Structure 1
């Protein structure tokens, strides 16, 4: 395999491209396409304010639970991960771990991000960490490495952040009225209002929604009205996407008048608990999906995770700290019931299903194929490999599943799902892999020896399908 030039310089121009066909496809058709990152967790205030990052640790390590998990796996003290060590100390500890990440995707991602945009073409280790830190730190002080400039550098045409319905979207508005060329749209993520395990936290969230919507929320119907007001507000501010994350897909058939009355009592403070949060979640979700369809939005469903497994560290650090895992709950039948009911009423929006559990790839890919519609290419998508799976093996399995059970030619491609401004190298990673898959099969005679034909399919997967699907 010719992905490595030598033992001194990291991945060369042919990285992941194992044939001449793959190289031709990548450099002639995929490499220079714009990026549409339709799902990420970048902070809009950071983009709008466009200030220099304080250090390499700030842009590279803060909140990066991939790196945090690897460091914990290596036995690094928590103070160098999420604790109070200095930025340089944390960076040096990460650098010491990097040589031992061989065959983990972090080894690839780390060096791709050092190479682009920093121009650092040597393998990182404890031996050169101080020099690498210094070079990155100097670069981050320049205007070219501020958030907006980095997005332009990576060719990002459009990105969609992930936002609470109560957000006033002021930073999206600031970006829109600025001269920044990348379009930054909000995405509607109402999970904290429709799912809960902590009653006190839920009531506080409802209060936030009341303040944002101007609606006194005293019932489930009030809650839906408040969310509808916010959907309209998001739509007026450019939103065309919603997003939901579930450990399990809720039952959408359980809601009844008794539960409705109990929920009213719960909201009024007459009950400390509510007996069936899942029934509430299923009811609200189905009604929200109807609202999305009426607006012409795309709805996303992230399923198959089990979160916050380490209760000790949850109390110490909080959520999104690297203690989540692949879940094993089965939920396809419930999803089928909801999709079918919505589809029967012509109220099923374009939908993307992501799973964190690869054993459900075929299940959910075939589920997606049940609800397509004339005039729309790939209306229901089996989405890109997500989270623990957005590495070479996981991405290839996901694309093989789409190829075998659907049409890879209608696939809407890659997204970062990241909080990092350096993670856009994953689009390059994905594009190289796609070109290698198609190029290898062309070499074997499994696909036509026609680069223009195959190259057009690759361009669609990497850019045009996404642009057309969302209507950007």
Structure 2
């Protein structure tokens, strides 16, 4: 039974805000700021075409491997996850799962999203699944619940998609031509250009990249020429940042291998040794980073994921279906060497580093201080809690570690890293957690009760630092 003073719905105006000062910081300085979501996986086509979703399952469950993993853990059949069950049946299984996600961030995210988008103040369960499904589906059939209004409803100002070098970016250009207040920018994600572990798929990708660059990629020199062509192409279409997903960065002090010879063997379909593969990635990435620096781009490195661990399910369902994990890769030495190799030639761009293993928090937070400078505020960033660390404790740990070893005041803040158009309350979640940490310090006498100054710091982290760090402008688009 609920306490007489405790409402059933726990998402009050002061959710997660555990002091009076935290409430002031959030409601007066953070809550109403626009959102710059500089890394996500939203399909640009669905933004440009202002897609309307048929039902709640389609917009909320399709592609969301966070939810899929929870359902599998609870013993839900794959038929109701990625299989051929009806949309309403899949939703009912998710509703059945939700009460069991208590203390997982999914519990908070689920109810934030149902409330912020659909106005629901009920806790989702199997009992009310049909009612909630019908209620939300009614909203989804209205013009205000197409993709663009959904984003603007959450006060989203800028989003950056994640795009392969071979992508045409037509949707980005078309969307820019429409003159929307929402801005959509591409981000250059060249992972496939150095993913040489599977020669057959890599050679197929080289054909695709070569077609986009109008160049036959028959040498490493031509690979770099093709990538430079695509960097130029992306730049003219508004791109100002890149992103890379890697187990770790690599560094070689000497020219340990002949890069053209390695490429020749790859072209013959031969697999390289592990050191050779790492050397190839290092040389490709180093060359790419020099291209980014010349363009003035920000570069992002997401490091530490152990991918496709369940090969049986990989064959059945493909990648990005919920079978990736935290890896225990060594990071510090090669990361320092890689960044230093660019710094020595004065070609180190603004950089954001994300770790997936929480043991690496201090390593990354300390590393950024080694390469900051050059009269750029927060040039090298320790990125927000990513993937498995994108939860309350993970965010608090990232914020606290960065505060202890760097300047939290220079932090560029939160991103969704999501494929869902309903994921943007995660920015609210982050802002509440951030304000609560500052509020606790004030309450404990660790920080002064200086509302104006601390409010400015909060506003900078939530919005202004990112607005100043990234070179986003509609004028960046060559619309000819």
Query: How far apart are 1:180 and its partner, in Å?
Result: 1.9
Partner SS, residue 117 of structure 2 = coil
Q: CA deviation at 1:32?
A: 0.3
Rounded to whole Å, the distance in 2 between the matches of 1:307 and 1:107 is 25
Give yes or no for contact 1:5–1:11 (8 Å, CA) kept in 2.
Answer: no
Distance (Å, rounded) in 2 between the aligned partners of 1:447 and 1:319: 46
Residue in structure 2 matched with residue 225 of structure 1 by the alignment? 225
Query: Which 10-residue stretch deviates more, 73-82 or 248-257?
Result: 248-257
| Distance (Å, rounded) in 2 between the aligned partners of 1:179 and 1:296 | 25
Relative to 1, partners in 2 of residues 1:255 and 1:83: Cα closer, same or farther, differing over 3 Å?
farther
Tell me which residue corresponds to 1:392: 392
SS in 1 for 2:258: helix
Mean Cα deviation higher: 273-282 or 251-260: 251-260
Q: Is the 8 A contact 1:228 1:291 kept in 2?
A: yes
Distance in 1 between the 2:59 and 2:353 partners? 30
Counterpart of 1:179 in structure 2 is: 179
Which of 271, 275, 283 is the aligned partner of 1:273?
271
Partner-residue secondary structure (3-state), 2:299: strand
Aligned counterpart, 1:355: 355
* In 2, Cα distance between equivalents of 1:387 and 1:259: 34
* 1:205 alignment counterpart: 205
Give the corresponding residue for 2:372: 372
Q: Secondary structure of the residue that 1:117 maps to in structure 2?
A: helix
Aligned to 2:89: 89
Provide the aligned C-alpha RMSD in A.
1.5
Report the alpha carbon displacement of residue 264 of structure 1 after superposing the two structures with TM: 2.2
What SS class does the counterpart of residue 243 from structure 1 fall into? Answer: strand
Q: Is the 8 A contact 1:266 1:273 kept in 2?
A: yes
The aligned residue for residue 447 of structure 1 is: 447
Aligned to 2:475: none
Counterpart CA distance in 1 for 2:137 and 2:124 is 15
Post-superposition offset of 1:5: 7.9
Match of 2:285 in 1: 285
**Cross-structure match for 1:408:** 408
Q: In structure 1, what is the Cα distance between the partners aligned to 2:406 and 2:172?
A: 36
CA displacement 1:261-294 (0-9 Å, x = unmatched)? 2412432x3x533442221111000011111011
Partner Cα separation in structure 2 for residue 290 and residue 63 of structure 1: 34
Deviations 1:162-217 (A, max 9, x none): 00000000100110011321110000000011123211100011000000001111
Q: CA deviation at 1:253?
A: 4.3
The separation in 2 between residues aligned to 1:244 and 1:25, in whole angstroms, is 34
TM-score by length of 2: 0.95
How much has 1:251 moved relative to structure 2? 3.3
SS at match of 1:41: coil
Return the offset for 1:256.
5.1
Q: Is the 8 A contact 1:165 1:189 kept in 2?
A: yes
Task: Please report how far the alpha carbon of residue 372 of structure 1 lies from its aligned counterpart in structure 2 after TM superposition.
Answer: 0.6
Name the CA distance, whole Å, in 2 between partners of 1:300 and 1:75. 36
Q: Does the Cα contact within 8 Å between 1:22 and 1:436 map onto a contact in 2? A: yes
Structure 2 residue runs without a partner (length 5+)? 473-480
8 Å Cα contact 2:250-2:338 kept in structure 1:
no
Aligned to 1:31: 31
Equivalent pair of 2:327/2:357 in contact (CA under 8 Å) = yes
TM-score, normalisation: structure 1: 0.97
Q: Which residue of structure 2 lines up, in the alignment, with residue 466 of structure 1?
A: 466
Q: 1:6, CA displacement in angstroms?
A: 3.9
Answer with 257-266 or 303-312: which moved more: 257-266
Residue 184 of structure 2 aligns to a residue in which SS? strand
Q: Specify the SS of the correspondent of 2:429.
A: helix
- Any conservation in 1 of the 2:199–2:266 contact (CA below 8 Å)? no
Matched, 1:166 2:151: no
Q: CA deviation at 1:304?
A: 1.0
Q: What is the distance in 2 between the residues matched to 1:255 and 1:73?
A: 47
3-state SS, counterpart of residue 280 of structure 1: helix
Report what 1:297 is aligned to. Answer: 297
Q: Is the 8 A contact 1:372 1:380 kept in 2?
A: yes
1:200-248, Cα deviation, whole Å (9 max, x unpaired)? 1000110000000011111111101100000000000000000011113
- Secondary structure of the residue aligned to 2:39 is coil
Alpha-carbon distance in 1 for matches of 2:384, 2:79: 34
Q: In the alignment, which residue of structure 2 is the partner of 1:457?
A: 457
Q: Is the 8 A contact 2:109 2:425 kept in 1?
A: yes
SS of residue matched to 1:168: coil
Confirm or deny: 8 A CA contact 1:10 1:122 kept in the other structure: no
1:239 aligns with 2:239: yes
More displaced 10-residue stretch of structure 1: 436-445 or 73-82: 436-445
1:77-111 residue CA offsets vs partner (Å, 9 max, x unmatched): 00001111111000000000111111000000000
Matches within 5 A, 1:254-273: 255=255, 258-267=258-267, 269=268, 271-273=269-271
Equivalent position of 2:125 in the other structure: 125
In structure 2, the residue matched to 1:48 is: 48
Instruction: Find the aligned partners of 2:250 and 2:323 in 1 and give their Cα distance.
Output: 23
CA contact (8 A) 1:195 1:278 kept: no
Q: Matched residues in 1 for 2:150 and 2:252: separation?
A: 43
Instruction: Give the secondary-structure state (helix, strand or coil) at the position aligned to 1:352.
Output: strand
Aligned counterparts of 1:377 and 1:426: Cα–Cα separation in 2: 26
Unpaired segments ≥5 residues, structure 1: none
